[in-house]
C-alpha cells in the first residue's frame, strides 16, 4: 500500500537535485543521555547476545569486525546491547553509468547496526536493526527465532544479511542456524567505546541523528531511522528508495516507516 500510494503521486518527484553523497568530515563527540547507566562494552557480556547471522560466504568474508556496547537506563526497564557490523564498502548492484542511482548504489565504508533489548530477567524481548539503508526494522520476541550457544537459554537472534546492501531481515523462517560473529574467520567481536571517538573523527556519523547513535532506548521508542532529520539520505530513502522498491528496498521486511 505504501509503495502504491507513492507511485500514484510520484510523477513530480526528481532526485537529481538531492546531494546523495558528501565527503566525510570530523565530528565532535556528543554527550551521552543522562538516563544511561552501567555503560560498558565487556566482550564476554556482548558475546551472550550477539546476533546469529545468516549470510552468504561472500558477505561473511566482507565483514571487517563487529563492535558493541551496552547500557541500562534509569527511565526504562531492561538492558540494550548495541552492535555495529563494519564492512570496507557497500557494493552496489547497479551499473555506475545509471544516472544518480548507480553512483549512489555503492559507497566507501559501511556500518550496519543491531540493537538487542533484554528484560530484567535477561530474556530477549525485542531486536531493532537496520532493515534497509539505516531505516528501522522492529522485531518483537514473538516474531524472532533465538538460538542457543554458550548460554543455557536461547539468546542469539537469527538475522539474515542481504547481499550487496548489508541490511537485515528476520531470519526466523530460515532452516539455517546462522553464524555468530566471534566464530567467523578473521572477525573479532570488540568493544565499541574505545572506538567511539575515532569513528566520530572519521565522520562515520556525519549524517546521523546523534540520539540514534548514543541512545538505544530512543530507537526502541519511536525513531524510524538512524539518519538526521533533513539529511539527503533520510529524504531519498523515505521518498524514493523505499516507496519505489529501489536499491535493495525490494528485499526488506516491513519497516517502521511503512507502518506509519
Q: What are 89-134's pLDDT values in tens digits?
A: 654 433 343 444 443 433 336 899 999 999 999 999 999 999 999 9
Tell me the average pLDDT across 226-235. 94
Tell me the average pLDDT across 175-180. 96
**183/88 Cα distance (integer angstroms):** 19
What percentage of the chain has pLDDT greater than the value 70?
82
pLDDT in tens, 74-92: 999 999 999 999 998 654 4
Tell me the average pLDDT across 237-252. 93
- Kindly report the pTM of this predicted structure: 0.86
Tell me the average pLDDT across 25-37. 89
Q: How many CB atoms sit inside 10 A of residue 159's CB?
A: 26
Cα 10 → chain centroid: 28
Tell me the average pLDDT across 230-240. 93
Task: Provide the pLDDT for residue 59.
Answer: 95
Smallest CA-to-CA distance from 204 within 136, 103, 138, 134 is with: 134
With contact defined as beta carbons under 8 Å apart, do 186 and 156 qualify? no
Tell me how many helices (H) and strands (E) the chain has: 10, 11
Task: Provide the pLDDT for residue 260.
Answer: 64
Tell me the average pLDDT across 127-153. 94
What percentage of the chain has pLDDT greater than the value 90?
76
The model's confidence at residue 182, banded by pLDDT at 50, 70 and 90, is: very high
Query: Does the pLDDT of residue 247 top 90, yes or no?
Result: no
Q: How many CB atoms sit inside 10 A of residue 229's CB?
A: 8
With contact defined as beta carbons under 8 Å apart, do 141 and 126 qualify? yes
Amino acid at each position: 500500500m505504501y509503495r502504491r500510494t507513492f507511485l500514484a503521486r510520484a510523477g513530480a518527484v526528481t532526485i537529481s537535485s538531492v546531494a546523495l553523497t558528501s565527503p566525510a568530515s570530523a565530528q565532535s563527540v556528543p554527550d551521552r543521555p543522562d538516563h544511561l547507566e552501567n555503560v560498558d562494552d565487556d566482550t564476554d557480556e556482548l558475546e551472550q547476545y550477539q546476533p546469529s547471522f545468516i549470510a552468504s560466504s561472500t558477505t561473511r568474508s566482507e565483514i571487517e569486525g563487529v563492535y558493541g556496547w551496552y547500557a541500562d537506563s534509569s527511565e526504562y526497564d531492561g538492558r540494550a546491547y548495541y552492535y555495529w557490523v563494519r564492512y570496507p564498502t557497500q557494493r552496489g548492484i547497479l551499473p555506475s553509468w545509471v544516472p544518480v542511482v548507480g553512483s549512489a548504489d555503492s559507497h566507501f565504508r559501511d556500518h550496519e547496526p543491531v540493537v538487542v533489548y533484554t528484560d530484567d530477567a535477561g530474556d530477549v524481548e525485542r531486536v531493532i536493526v537496520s532493515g534497509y539503508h539505516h531505516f528501522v526494522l522492529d522485531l518483537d520476541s514473538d516474531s524472532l527465532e533465538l538460538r542457543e550457544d554458550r548460554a543455557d537459554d536461547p539468546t542469539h537472534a537469527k538475522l539474515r544479511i542481504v547481499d550487496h546492501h548489508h541490511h537485515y531481515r528476520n531470519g526466523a523462517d530460515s532452516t539455517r542456524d546462522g553464524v555468530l560473529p566471534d566464530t567467523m574467520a578473521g572477525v573479532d567481536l570488540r568493544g565499541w567505546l574505545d572506538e567511539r571517538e575515532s569513528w566520530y573523527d572519521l565522520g562515520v556519523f556525519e549524517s546521523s541523528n546523534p540520539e540514534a547513535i548514543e541512545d538505544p532506548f530512543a530507537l526502541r521508542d519511536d525513531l524510524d531511522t538512524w539518519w538526521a532529520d533533513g539529511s539527503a539520505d533520510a529524504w531519498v530513502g523515505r521518498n524514493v528508495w523505499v516507496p519505489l522498491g529501489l536499491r535493495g528496498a525490494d528485499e526488506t521486511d516491513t519497516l517502521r516507516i511503512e507502518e506509519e
